[in-house]
Structure 1
Amino acid sequence: MKAGLHGRKSRYVKAGLHGRKSRVVDEGVDALSIETQLDRGHKWATVEGYDVAAEYTENVSAWTGKARPQIDRAMDDLIAGRIDVLWCYALDRFTRRGARMILEIMDQPASVRPWIIFDHEQMNTRNDAYRLPLIMLAEMALQYSDRLSKNVRSTFHRMRESGDWTGRAPYGTRVRAGTRKLEPDPDTWPHIMEAYTAVGAGVSLRAVAVMFNERGVPSPRGTEWASRTLWAMIHHPAYEGLQVAYDGGKPYAYRDAHGHTVRAFADDAEALPADLVRAARTALSGRSFDMQGKRGTASAELTGTMHCQGCGGPMARTGKAYRCSRHIRGVHCPNPATVQAHHVEPMVREAFLAYVTALDPADPDDLDTWAEIATRWKLHTDPTIVADNREATRAVTDLEKRLRRLRDDREAGLYDDDPADYARRVRDLQDALKDARDNAGDTGVVNLPDFAGMEYEELSTGLMRVSTAERRALLSSAIAGVIVNRAPRGTQRFDPDRVRIVLVSGEDIRR
């Protein structure tokens, strides 16, 4: 049996590995990728003979104001004994809070002090001799962050004031070589001109999107054109040649200390004519809809449940009808479906009521169905269940990755001298993986919902008294999907047979 640091018997030591890299800048020691950091950690664990019990990865800044749930989870696991030691590539990967966090750790008695290894510095928190060096290094990391943050803000400010572009060039433009000034991209600028011209002439955003998609015009993201993309493009100040700043992710024309806009195009580069920009924006300002409306706020009871048979995509309620969302956005759908809300909503409510009130909470044959309904209901009514599901799924993924890495290590010959150790590690990981998969499957179920066992009339009355959001959650707990076919041309009357309602059990209400 191998001995690890401090003379511990190492075979059954559970280690956690921490990896972090900033989203914005590559600062700190070598700025290694998260994967490279974790690879180093696994090699360290193999040499020491430790079992890697968890990985904690962060793609965020270690700056003081940032929420860092992964490092919080790592410290919780360390204190609770779920891991015995936490390995970090470097101190500045672990914290930029300065001496405060290190003091919180080092001030505890050595016997109960969290054991953290800082690989790059070759120091650890169990050795009191490292107390002062760790405090000094932590303060140096904090000062570096302060200086870096101020320098970045100062640099961005100077660049904006001088009209230098600070990010990726907007679609239709490019950054001129040797400068930070924008100029039209000869390959895509004509599409910008065409979009502004068409919208200014009264052509709808959807019609422009359809036209571009049919012609195969490349879009900013390489996907199909949509109305929202064009709306954002028409309102982007860069096409007027102006420097931008951002508020909540939305660009607006940047103004200098004197209140003047700043030109971002090169002096000899020609931006869109002011009258063309004005005509396009004026045309859009008269529209009755807001393409920049808040996303994720469903206002109809079948949102998320309705699907178009033509393309399989979702349907959204616009006015009095549900329509194919892809078709609304100008994305191609071979047979875009539309159905009036006053026809389909009562159908789905009736299906829900008939289905749920026919299930018996006391009948063992119905328990699996009730468990599925309860799970779906919980996901809508308790946001923590969603987080638990994600965490459980992440645990499964991490264990699967560790099992693959262990097998790769064996293929590389790392366990040739100790096949019994390899067999034990595989068995332990397989047991942990089974538990994690069971946990992922069990998360969020259980207790029957309050409406289980209600009579038809009682449930029907309650269904209509709750808010639209609650009614949507109730319906989707038992209805897996509502699929709508396009009505034949010239049809005036509503045909219920073109609406297919699928229950959570997989059965169709209408055939």
Structure 2
Amino acid sequence: MRAAIYARYSTDLQSDASIEDQHRLCLRLIDGNGWQEAETYSDRGLSGASHLRPGYQRLLEDARRNVFDVVVAEGLDRISRDQEHIAAFFKQMRFQGIPIITVAEGEISELHIGLKGTMSSLFLKDLAQKTHRGLEGRVRKGKSAGGITYGYNVVRDMCADGSITTGERRINESQAQIVQRIFQDYSHGLSPRNIASDLNEEGIPGPRGTWGASTIYGNHQRGTGILNNELYIGRLVWNRQRFVKDPNSGKRQAQPNPPEEWVIEDVPDLRIVPDDLWNAVKTRQEKTRNAAISDGIKKLGRTKRARHLFSGMLTCGCCGGGVIQVGKQYYGCSSQRNKGTCDNRLTIKRADLEDRVLSGLKEQLLHPDLIAEFAKAYQEEYNRLAGSIQQERINATRDLAQVERKIAHLIDAISDGMFHASMKDKLTALEARKAELEALIAAASDEPPVLLHPGLSDVYREQVANLTTALRDPSSQAQATSIIRSLLSEIRLVPEDGTYALELVGELAGLLALRAPQNEQSRPEAACSTFCSSQVVAGAGFEPATFRL
């Protein structure tokens, strides 16, 4: 048997030799069973709570290609610590006929998945609580809870006992001058966009390489951005927000905490900005926010709702930055416009972009394979509902027989002289129930259900053809737009020969993959004139599909 070894350790603080130690234990198990080592898959410094690990994903891909016959690991928690992911991994391996053997637990069964998965989840929860407690204790001492803020340096000093200090910071004088400059420029009337552009033109490195307007302005409610960081006035604010992992994307999403849970400590030795300059900036920010509100109603440009069909979903194929509206009718690269760090100067008319995407979708959704898939899904759901109706009729018939028996017993008791006032009420209730069940049975048809609507394909074609109309109709526009946006995570605009090629990323691209032959999906060079697959669809929970229009 060909045995694949998987090894992993969680953080960079652990030794890289951990992989070698796990490999040695697994190899001993392989030799003891007379198997042959196929390949070793490893992930270094990656948490088991995430399935987005290169080695783990490569292990799944090779399993689908029958590269090995058995998976060997030191323990089940090395493969994953997430209940959902470990269960999905087990189901995938069982489907491929590949057993999972670990040094700690032996051959993995459903029992191990339930118990060990629960234990791993509890371990992660307990670890998060203890980590949060330790970070809070560090903040209450005026120290950093992690990360580095622009304008400061991390201090690593040797203590008397030989240990290294953690959480200590010192003002970086050169960066502190940039922070003061940003506050002064904004208080004098410059916009964050102009400030960022000036800093980039002067070659001054920002917190993440280049400067952007959002880096400077941030979010005043969450305390993000240079202009909202209270550490610059000697006040350390921690626990403003918490991060929760999205189960669909696997990415962490920030959620604000109530103010009573914030931890605030004064650190006057870290002050960079004087109070008068800070107050001047806060005054201008307040005026700017108030100017965007009329009669208590936020203007359209300030709301979070997307103004157009694909607003906020467009990215530049050159730099990966966002594509924004650069005029009333055109889209362009935000990095090129706001930072000057991208060479992509192409623009595209909003109406043309939307028409290209929608016309391409309509053309591909009308492929016979997708129509067949729609008919299959419709038939399965229809059969399920029809079976449910038939089951309800059977249950009603059974209940009617029980009610009739109870009525007969009551009548027999009354005939024998065992009458009581409560019997009348009970008999009335039973008669009402009998009438209800008889009506339900009479309404149910004895004829077998039609398993497939004869005009189902025509209905599907009509709905697809009306896609653009639905997106323009005010009565259905909001719902149709929401559905389209929920199926697409990103639209990439890739410059090619003076125009844009459009790449769709998300579940909708995975749906369209149903119409592509498997041999075309597996060949990167396979392409067609208007629509091609540039990535193999791995299924739910894996990398999203990408298609080009």
TM-score (ref. length: structure 1): 0.50
Q: Answer whether contact 1:301 1:469 (CA < 8 A) is retained.
A: no
Q: 1:228 aligns with which of 202, 214, 225?
A: 214
Contact 1:22 1:60 in 2 (8 A): yes
The reply to whether residue 238 of structure 1 matches residue 238 of structure 2 is: no
Q: 1:251 to 1:74 in 2, by over 3 A?
A: closer
Whether the 8 Å CA contact 2:140–2:263 is kept in 1: the answer is no
Whole-angstrom CA distance in 2 between matches of 1:480 and 1:450: 33
Provide the C-alpha distance between the structure 2 equivalents of 1:469 and 1:324, rounded to a whole number of angstroms. 24
Aligned to 2:282: 281
For 1:241 and 1:72, the matched residues in 2 are separated by 45
Partner of 2:241: 247
Alignment of 1:454-473 (within 5 A): 461-462=469-470, 464-465=472-473, 467-468=480-481
Change in 2 beyond 3 A, CA 1:454/1:59: farther
Aligned to 2:101: 116
User: Once the 2 structures are TM-superposed, how far is the Cα of residue 209 of structure 1 from its aligned partner?
Assistant: 0.6
Residues 211 and 42 of structure 1, relative CA distance in 2, 3 Å threshold: farther
Gap regions ≥5 residues in structure 1: 1-12, 106-111, 128-136, 362-369, 379-448, 486-498
Q: Which residue number in structure 2 is paired with residue 192 of structure 1?
A: 179
* SS of 1:326 mapped into structure 2: helix
Q: Is the 8 A contact 1:315 1:325 kept in 2?
A: yes
Amino acid at match of 1:277: W
Bigger mean CA offset, 187-196 vs 51-60: 51-60
Name the residue aligned to 1:182.
169
Number of residues of Structure 1 aligned to a counterpart in Structure 2: 364
Which of 195, 200, 205 lines up with 1:213 in the alignment?
200
Q: Is the Cα–Cα contact under 8 Å of residues 69 and 98 in structure 2 kept in the other structure?
A: no
* CA apart distance, 1:211: 0.4
Is residue 2:171 matched to residue 1:168? Answer: no
Stretches of structure 2 lacking an aligned partner (at least 5 in a row): 91-96, 109-115, 158-164, 218-224, 244-253, 293-298, 375-456, 503-527, 532-549
Spell out, residue by residue over 1:205-234, the C-alpha distance to the aligned partner (whole angstroms, 9 max, x if none): 110111000100011122x21111112121
1:272 — aligned with what? Answer: 273
Compared CA separation, residues 328 and 317, structure 1 to 2 (3 A):
same
- Percentage of identical aligned residues: 21
1:398-417 maps to which residues of 2 (within 5 A)?
A: none
Mapped to 2, the partners of 1:456 and 1:139 lie a distance apart of 44
The alignment status of 1:154 with 2:133, answered yes or no, reads yes
Q: Distance in 1 between matches of 2:352 and 2:121?
A: 61
Contact persistence 1:19–1:34 (CA under 8 A): yes
SS of the residue 1:203 aligns to: coil
Q: Please tell me whether residue 329 in structure 1 is matched to residue 338 in structure 2.
A: yes
Are 1:116 and 1:124, in contact at CA under 8 Å, matched by a contact in 2? yes
Is residue 193–residue 272 contact of structure 1 (8 Å, CA) maintained in 2? yes
Report 1:78-93 matches (<5 A). Answer: 85-89=70-74, 93=78
Asked if the contact 2:27/2:37 (under 8 Å) is kept, the reply is: no
Equivalent residues of 1:174, 1:182 under 8 A apart: yes
Query: RMSD across aligned C-alpha pairs, in angstroms?
Result: 6.4
The aligned counterpart of 2:529 is 505
Shift, 1:196, TM fit: 1.3
1:191, distance to aligned residue in structure 2 (A): 0.9
Q: Which amino acid aligns with 1:324?
A: C
Aligned residue for 2:282, secondary structure, equals: helix
Are residue 20 (structure 1) and residue 20 (structure 2) matched?
no
Query: Contact 2:344 / 2:495 at 8 angstroms: preserved in 1?
Result: no
Task: Classify 1:454/1:189 alpha carbon distance in 2 versus 1 (closer, same or farther; 3 Å).
Answer: same
- Which one has the largest radius of gyration? 2
Whether the aligned pair in 1 keeps the contact of 2:136 and 2:145 (CA below 8 Å) is no
Q: Distance in 2 between matches of 1:470 and 1:245?
A: 35
Give, as a single letter, the amino acid of the residue that structure 2 aligns with 1:505. S
Per-residue CA shift, 1:248-271, capped at 9, x if unaligned?
4579999999x88302x4x54443
- Structure 2 residue 303 is the aligned partner of structure 1 residue 300: no
Q: Give the Cα separation in 1 of the matches to 2:232 and 2:203.
A: 22
Which is worse superposed, 201-210 or 281-290? 281-290
* Cα deviation, residue 198, structure 1: 0.9
CA contact (8 A) 1:307 1:481 kept: yes
SS at match of 2:272: coil
Tell me if the contact between 2:200 and 2:211 (Cα under 8 Å) persists in the aligned partners: yes
Give the AA of the match of 1:195: I
Q: Deviations over 1:83-140 (max 9, x none)?
A: 654322357646879xxx9xxx9xxxxxx9965232xxxx66269xxxxxxxxx9999
1:340-378: CA deviations, max 9, x gaps? Answer: xxxx344456667888889997xxxxxxxx69x97xxx9
Aligned positions of 1:418-457 closer than 5 A:
none
CA distance 1:276–1:483, shift in 2 (3 Å): same
Question: Counterpart amino acid of 1:245?
Answer: N
Secondary structure in structure 2 of the residue aligned to 1:188: helix
